[in-house]
């Protein structure tokens, strides 16, 4: 099978879609092991959903892919190039939607979105304006263009972060909890965006999410991290009846309100 061709939505320049290989990745923060020998591959043009309980190392893994963290052992390859190498980011456009948004607080929403195209000279101010306003429209933010991040709600920040990633026209798109603070309608919109980018432009996508519906709806493959270990890797269908009791527990937590867990901890 030929690799899918990534097509830039604006320039329509076509290039092979980006593949990500994570090879024996281990990360220690002091004595704490955040990632333990994690290995998997994300095929070009694929939507990979990474799941796992809070604190299992999902965000840390994403940071390794964009080169913000250096691995203690193992490596991350993007199209065969080390993620921490400087030129990787220069050659491959990677967008990361941070869990907390990471908006530029001193810039307006509009300028947050316009920064990347301006710095990388996508075109004149009018072209950039078109692109920015379109991204804002997709996320229903057109009325907030002149606001500053401090004036936004948590969900709006997340949407601005996603819009900012869209404007980058990335080949590899990383979402850290894109729908965690959003209403069902907005969540559906995000799912649609992810699917459209994959179908139209063959954007390789990695989504970190707790949202089981989103995951099962759009994922080509799913990985589950627990305590820094990759405990599951496979198609979403096989998650409907998970064999691993840990995964079953994760998806169908037994809630016994008569006998809450913290009560047993207290005694």
Partner 1 sequence: MKQFTHFLEGFGSAVQLLFQSARFVGTLPRQRARFIDQCYLIGYTTLPIVAILCFFMGSVLALQSGYSMENFGAKQFIGSLVGLSFARELGPVIVAILVAGRVGSAITAELASMKVYQEVDALVTMNIPPARILVLPRLAAVLVMMPVLAIIGNLIGWFGGAVVCKYVESIAIEPEAYFSALRRYMKFKDVGTGLMKAEIFGFVVVLICCSIGLNTRGGPREIGASVTKAVVVSLISILVLDYFVTKALM
Ligand X SMILES: Nc1ncnc2c1ncn2[C@@H]1O[C@H](COP(=O)(O)OP(=O)(O)OP(=O)(O)O)[C@@H](O)[C@H]1O
| Contact pattern from residue 144 through residue 173 relative to partner 1, giving x for each residue in contact according to CB under 8 A and a dash for the rest | ------------------------x-----
Q: Pick the stretch among 58-66, 164-172, 239-247, 256-264 that binds ligand X (CB under 6 A).
A: 58-66
Which of 104, 122, 148, 251 touches partner 1 by CB under 8 A? 104
Q: What are phi and psi of 232, to 5 degrees?
A: -150, 140
d(CA 117, CA 81): 24
d(CA 201, CA 45): 8
Contacts of partner 1 in 83-102 (CB under 8 A): 89-90, 93-96, 98, 100, 102
Which of 50, 52, 59, 103 touches Mg ion by CB under 5 A? 59
Contacts of partner 1 in 48-67 (CB under 8 A): 63, 66-67
CA dihedral 201, 204, 209, 211 (to 10 degrees): 40
Which of 31, 54, 259, 264 touches ligand X by CB under 6 A? 54
Give the pair of three-digit tokens for residue 91: 């050659």
Q: Least Å distance between CB 120 and partner 1?
A: 7
CB 236 within 8 A of CB 251: no
List Cβ neighbours of 102 (8 Å cut-off, separation of 6 or more): 161
Q: Does 105 bind partner 1 (CB under 8 A)?
A: yes
Q: Least Å distance between CB 101 and partner 1?
A: 8
Q: Least Å distance between CB 37 and partner 1?
A: 25
Q: Does 123 bind partner 1 (CB under 8 A)?
A: no
Which of 6, 17, 59, 97 touches ligand X by CB under 6 A? 59
Tell me the site size for Mg ion, rule CB under 5 A: 2
Minimum CB distance to partner 1 smaller for 90 or for 256: 90
Q: Which residue is associated with the tokens 């994760």?
A: 250
Helices (H), the chain: 58-65, 86-91, 109-119, 125-138, 154-167, 184-201, 212-218, 245-251, 261-266
Query: Shortest CA distance to 155 belongs to which of 207, 131, 190, 108?
Result: 190
Q: Does 60 bind ligand X (CB under 6 A)?
A: yes
Q: Least Å distance between CB 215 and ligand X?
A: 13
Q: What are phi and psi of 38, to 5 degrees?
A: -90, 130
Q: Does 56 bind Mg ion (CB under 5 A)?
A: no
Minimum CB distance to partner 1 smaller for 22 or for 247: 22
Distances (CA, A) of 254 to 101, 250, 260, 263: 32, 9, 10, 15
Shortest-Cβ-distance residue relative to ligand X? 59
Q: Tell me, rounded to whole angstroms, the distance of Cα 204 from its chain centroid.
A: 10
**Angle at the Cα of 250 from the Cα atoms of 244 and 252, rounded to 5 degrees:** 95
Please give the residue ranges that form the binding site for partner 1 (CB under 8 A). Answer: 63, 66-68, 89-90, 93-96, 98, 100, 102-106, 115-116, 119-120, 168
Please give the residue ranges that form the binding site for ligand X (CB under 6 A). Answer: 29, 32, 34, 52, 54-60, 99
Please give the residue ranges that form the binding site for Mg ion (CB under 5 A). Answer: 59, 99
């Amino acid at each position: 099978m030929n690799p899918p061709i990534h097509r830039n939505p604006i320039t329509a320049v076509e290039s092979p879609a980006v593949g990500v290989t994570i090879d024996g990745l281990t990360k220690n923060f002091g004595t704490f092991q955040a990632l333990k020998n994690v290995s998997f591959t994300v095929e070009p043009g694929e939507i990979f959903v990474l799941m796992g309980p809070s604190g299992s190392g999902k965000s840390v893994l994403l940071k390794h892919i964009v080169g913000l963290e250096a691995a203690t052992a193992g490596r991350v390859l993007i199209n065969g190039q080390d993620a921490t190498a400087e030129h990787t980011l220069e050659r491959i456009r990677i967008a990361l939607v941070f869990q907390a948004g990471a908006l530029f607080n001193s810039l307006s929403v509009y300028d947050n979105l316009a920064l990347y195209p301006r710095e990388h000279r996508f075109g004149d101010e009018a072209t950039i304006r078109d692109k920015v306003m379109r991204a804002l429209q997709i996320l229903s933010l057109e009325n907030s263009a002149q606001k500053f991040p401090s004036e936004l709600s948590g969900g709006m920040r997340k949407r601005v972060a996603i819009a900012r990633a869209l404007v980058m026209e990335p080949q590899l798109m990383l979402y850290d909890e894109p729908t965690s603070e959003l209403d069902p309608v907005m969540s559906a919109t995000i799912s649609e965006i992810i699917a459209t980018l994959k179908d139209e432009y063959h954007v390789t996508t990695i989504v970190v999410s707790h949202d089981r519906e989103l995951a099962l709806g759009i994922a080509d493959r799913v990985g589950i991290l627990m305590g820094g270990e990759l405990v599951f890797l496979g198609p979403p269908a096989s998650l409907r009846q998970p064999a691993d009791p840990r995964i079953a527990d994760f998806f169908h937590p037994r809630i016994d309100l008569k006998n809450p867990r913290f009560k047993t901890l207290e005694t």
